[in-house]
C-alpha cells in the first residue's frame, strides 16, 4: 500500500477551513524556523519531510514567498521558530522529528489549547501575530456558560435575546431605509440571501435615521451583557480568568509578534498559576462606544513578591459577517501586554 505524505491525524479533516495566506505564512513559517536552516529560502527548497503537510501546501508556501507580499511575516515567523529551536524551555537545539500543522481544522473535542502546531507529539504551539483576540465564542457561551465546553460554538441571536425591543425597532427602520430590497416584516423571517443583501447594502455606515436606534442597541446590549455575566460568575472568577487567558490543563507556547516586538511565551497550567499567583478581584462593566462592549479586569497578587498587578481586556459583541447577517459573536480581547500577564512566562 502506498503511504500517505501526511499522518493519519492530518488526513482526517472533518471540520476544515482553508486558512488565509497570511495565516499560512506565519504558522508554517514558524514551523520552518524550527529545523535550523539558515534562511527561509533554504528551508523552502529543502522541504523538510518532518513537517507533515501536503505537496500542494508546499507549493502554496513557495508561491507566497516568491510573491513577496508577506516577506516580512515570513522572516518574523522564521526567527520565532529558530528561537523555539534554541530555547532552554523548548527544543534545546534538537531538530524536531515531526511537526504537525492544524491548518484551519477545528479540534474534535472540548479543546482549550489554541494550538496551531504540534511538535514531536508533545509541544503545542500557538502562533499569534499582531492579534489581541484570545477567544471568539457566542455571547451565550461566554456570558451564560462562562466558556465551559468547546470554543467557537454559535448560539441564538444575542441581540434579540437581551434587547428585543431595540432590535425590532432597528430592523423596522432598516427595512424602510432599504426599500429597494424585499424584506419580511420580522428579522427572524430573513433568509440567508436576504441577510447577505442587508449586510452588503449597509456596509459600514448606518442610514442617518438608524443611528440613534443602533445606539440604543449598543447601550442595552452592553449593560445587559455585563449584568448577565456578573450574575453567572458567582464563585467561578478564577476559572473564568483562566479560560479568558487560554490557560488550560496542558502547558503550551505562544510564538508571534506585537507592536512592541516578538512574543515568545510559555503558558502555565492552572496548577502552575496557583503556585505563583492569587486572584484578588475580578470585575466586569459595560464600556461605552460605537458597538456593544464589556470590560473585564482582574487583580492578581504575586505570591513571591506580594506585589499586585492588573490584567485587563474587553469583549466586543458584534454581528458576524456583517449587520443582520450572522448571529452576534463575542470576541474577547486582551488589552494587557502579553509579557505582563500572570501565567505568561517569557521563553528562555
Tens digit of pLDDT for each residue in 143-169? 999 998 765 555 679 999 999 999 999
Statement: residue 3 has pLDDT above 80:
no
Region 237-254: what's the mean pLDDT? 94
Q: Which three cell numbers stand for residue 5?
A: 505524505
Region 70-98: what's the mean pLDDT? 97
Statement: residue 134 has pLDDT above 60:
yes
Spatial CB neighbours of 211, under 8 Å, sequence gap ≥ 6:
none
User: What was the pLDDT predicted at 5?
Assistant: 40
Q: Position of cell 480581547?
A: 333
Region 88-97: what's the mean pLDDT? 97
pLDDT band at 196, cuts 50/70/90?
very high
DSSP single-letter state for residue 209: G
The answer to whether 104 and 16 are in contact (CB under 8 A) is yes
Statement: residue 273 has pLDDT above 80:
yes
Lowest mean pLDDT: which of 101-110, 179-188, 286-295? 101-110
Region 4-16: what's the mean pLDDT? 39
Spatial CB neighbours of 60, under 8 Å, sequence gap ≥ 6:
24
Region 322-327: what's the mean pLDDT? 90
C-alpha distances out from residue 243 to 111, 136, 142, 313, Å: 11, 12, 10, 13
Spatial CB neighbours of 162, under 8 Å, sequence gap ≥ 6:
220, 221, 224, 225, 228
Q: Which three cell numbers stand for residue 28?
A: 508554517
Region 249-259: what's the mean pLDDT? 91
pLDDT band at 14, cuts 50/70/90?
very low
Statement: residue 109 has pLDDT above 60:
no
Query: What 3-state class would DSSP assign to 128?
Result: strand
Positive or negative, the CA dihedral 67, 101, 348, 256 is positive
- Minimal CA–CA distance to 336: which of 283, 258, 273, 275? 258
Query: What 3-state class would DSSP assign to 294?
Result: strand
Q: Which three cell numbers stand for residue 323?
A: 449587520
Statement: residue 236 has pLDDT above 60:
yes
Count of other CB atoms within 10 angstroms of residue 178: 16
Statement: residue 41 has pLDDT above 80:
yes
Quote the CA–CA distance of 315 and 275 in Å, as a whole number. Answer: 28
User: What was the pLDDT predicted at 116?
Assistant: 95
What does the pLDDT look like over 208-224, one tens digit per residue? 999 999 999 999 999 99
Statement: residue 108 has pLDDT above 90:
no
What is the Cα 34 distance to its own chain's centre? Answer: 23
User: What was the pLDDT predicted at 131?
Assistant: 79
- Minimal CA–CA distance to 28: which of 2, 62, 4? 62
Quote the CA–CA distance of 50 and 32 in Å, as a whole number. Answer: 10
Region 252-271: what's the mean pLDDT? 93
Quote the CA–CA distance of 175 and 187 in Å, as a whole number. Answer: 9
Region 64-71: what's the mean pLDDT? 95
Statement: residue 247 has pLDDT above 90:
yes
Q: Position of cell 506585589?
A: 307
Spatial CB neighbours of 215, under 8 Å, sequence gap ≥ 6:
none
pLDDT band at 228, cuts 50/70/90?
very high
Statement: residue 193 has pLDDT above 80:
yes
Mean pLDDT value across the chain = 90
User: What was the pLDDT predicted at 103?
Assistant: 83
User: What was the pLDDT predicted at 348?
Assistant: 77
- The model carries a pTM of 0.86
Query: What 3-state class would DSSP assign to 266?
Result: strand
Sheet of 293-302, strands arranged across: 133-137, 328-334, 308-319, 293-302, 277-287
The answer to whether 309 and 342 are in contact (CB under 8 A) is yes
The answer to whether 141 and 330 are in contact (CB under 8 A) is yes
Region 300-307: what's the mean pLDDT? 97
C-alpha distances out from residue 45 to 37, 41, 61, 83, 201, Å: 10, 6, 11, 21, 46
User: What was the pLDDT predicted at 104?
Assistant: 64
Q: Which three cell numbers stand for residue 186?
A: 420580522
Quote the CA–CA distance of 108 and 114 in Å, as a whole number. Answer: 13
User: What was the pLDDT predicted at 15?
Assistant: 45
Question: Percentage of the chain with pLDDT > 70?
Answer: 91
Amino acid at each position: 500500500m502506498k503511504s500517505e505524505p501526511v499522518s493519519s491525524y492530518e488526513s482526517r479533516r472533518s471540520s476544515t477551513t482553508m486558512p488565509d495566506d497570511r495565516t499560512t505564512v506565519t504558522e508554517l513559517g514558524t514551523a520552518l524556523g524550527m529545523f535550523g536552516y539558515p534562511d527561509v529560502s533554504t528551508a523552502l527548497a529543502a522541504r523538510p519531510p518532518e513537517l507533515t503537510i501536503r505537496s500542494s501546501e508546499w507549493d502554496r508556501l513557495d508561491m507566497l514567498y516568491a510573491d513577496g507580499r508577506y516577506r516580512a511575516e515570513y522572516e518574523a515567523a522564521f526567527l520565532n521558530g529558530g528561537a523555539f529551536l534554541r530555547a532552554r524551555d523548548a527544543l534545546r537545539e534538537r531538530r524536531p522529528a515531526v511537526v504537525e500543522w492544524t491548518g484551519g481544522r477545528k479540534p474534535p473535542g472540548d479543546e482549550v489549547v489554541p494550538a496551531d502546531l504540534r511538535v514531536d507529539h508533545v509541544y503545542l504551539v500557538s502562533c499569534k501575530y499582531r492579534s489581541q483576540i484570545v477567544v471568539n465564542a457566542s455571547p451565550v457561551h461566554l456570558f451564560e456558560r462562562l466558556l465551559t465546553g468547546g470554543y467557537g460554538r454559535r448560539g441564538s441571536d444575542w441581540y434579540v435575546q437581551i434587547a428585543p425591543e431595540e432590535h425590532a425597532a432597528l430592523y423596522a427602520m432598516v427595512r424602510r431605509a432599504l426599500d429597494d430590497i424585499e424584506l419580511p416584516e420580522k428579522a427572524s423571517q430573513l433568509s440567508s440571501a436576504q441577510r447577505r443583501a442587508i449586510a452588503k447594502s449597509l456596509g459600514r455606515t448606518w442610514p442617518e435615521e438608524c443611528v440613534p436606534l443602533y445606539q440604543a442597541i449598543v447601550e442595552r446590549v452592553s449593560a445587559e451583557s455585563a449584568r448577565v455575566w456578573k450574575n453567572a460568575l458567582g464563585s467561578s472568577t478564577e476559572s473564568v480568568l483562566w479560560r479568558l487567558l487560554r490557560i488550560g490543563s496542558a502547558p503550551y507556547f505562544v510564538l508571534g509578534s506585537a507592536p512592541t516586538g516578538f512574543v515568545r511565551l510559555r503558558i502555565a497550567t492552572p496548577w502552575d498559576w496557583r503556585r505563583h499567583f492569587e486572584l484578588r478581584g475580578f470585575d466586569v462593566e459595560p464600556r461605552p462606544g460605537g458597538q456593544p462592549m464589556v470590560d473585564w479586569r482582574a487583580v492578581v497578587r504575586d505570591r513571591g513578591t506580594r506585589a499586585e498587578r492588573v490584567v485587563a481586556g474587553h469583549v466586543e459583541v458584534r454581528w458576524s459577517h456583517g449587520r443582520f447577517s450572522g448571529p452576534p459573536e463575542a470576541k474577547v480581547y486582551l488589552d494587557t501586554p502579553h509579557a505582563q500577564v500572570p501565567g505568561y512566562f517569557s521563553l528562555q
